[in-house]
Amino acid sequence: DVKVTQSSRYLVKRTGEKVFLECVQDMDHENMFWYRQDPGLGLRLIYFSYDVKMKEKGDIPEGYSVSREKKERFSLILESASTNQTSMYLCASSLIRTDGHNEQFFGPGTRLTVL
């Protein structure tokens, strides 16, 4: 089974702190994604990566950056956390397939609270 793990289930940080959210997948997937989930808004894509050291902005990249130094690990970085970044953060991974059956596998999520 594909396993996507995230470093923390719950995290509390203060405004202005630098925050690192880590995600690791064990199935050699090329694609990795970071979403944030907010009530009434569903999931919104922050960043994705389709290869090591490659990254692309999603729909809401402002205030975030990412790092992918190894294929299995994708990090989301909040350079200076703000209260409006309080949210649930979900990591996902998928294979690159030409038939479109690139199901995304999700981690358990990290509930981040910024005070």
Partner 1 sequence: AQTVTQSQPEMSVQEAETVTLSCTYDTSESDYYLFWYKQPPSRQMILVIRQEAYKQQNATENRFSVNFQKAAKSFSLKISDSQLGDAAMYFCAYRARFGMRFGAGTRLTVKP
Residues that bind partner 1 (CB under 8 A): 31, 33, 35, 40-45, 48, 50, 56, 58, 88, 90, 92, 100-104, 106-109
The answer to whether the Cα torsion of 81, 83, 84, 87 is positive or negative is positive
Task: Give least dist CB 1 to partner 1, A.
Answer: 11
Structure tokens at 40: 């009434």
Least distance in Å: CB of 74 to partner 1? 13
Q: Mind spelling out the 3-state secondary structure of 33-92?
A: EEEEEECCCEEEEEEEEEECCEEEECCCCCCCEEEEEECCEEEEEECCCCHHHCEEEEEE
Comparing CB distances to partner 1, the nearer of 85 and 94 is: 94
Q: 26 or 56: whose CB is closer to partner 1?
A: 56
Strand partners of residue 11:
112
Q: Which of 28, 103 has the CB closer to partner 1?
A: 103
- Closest approach, Cβ 9 to partner 1, in A, equals 8
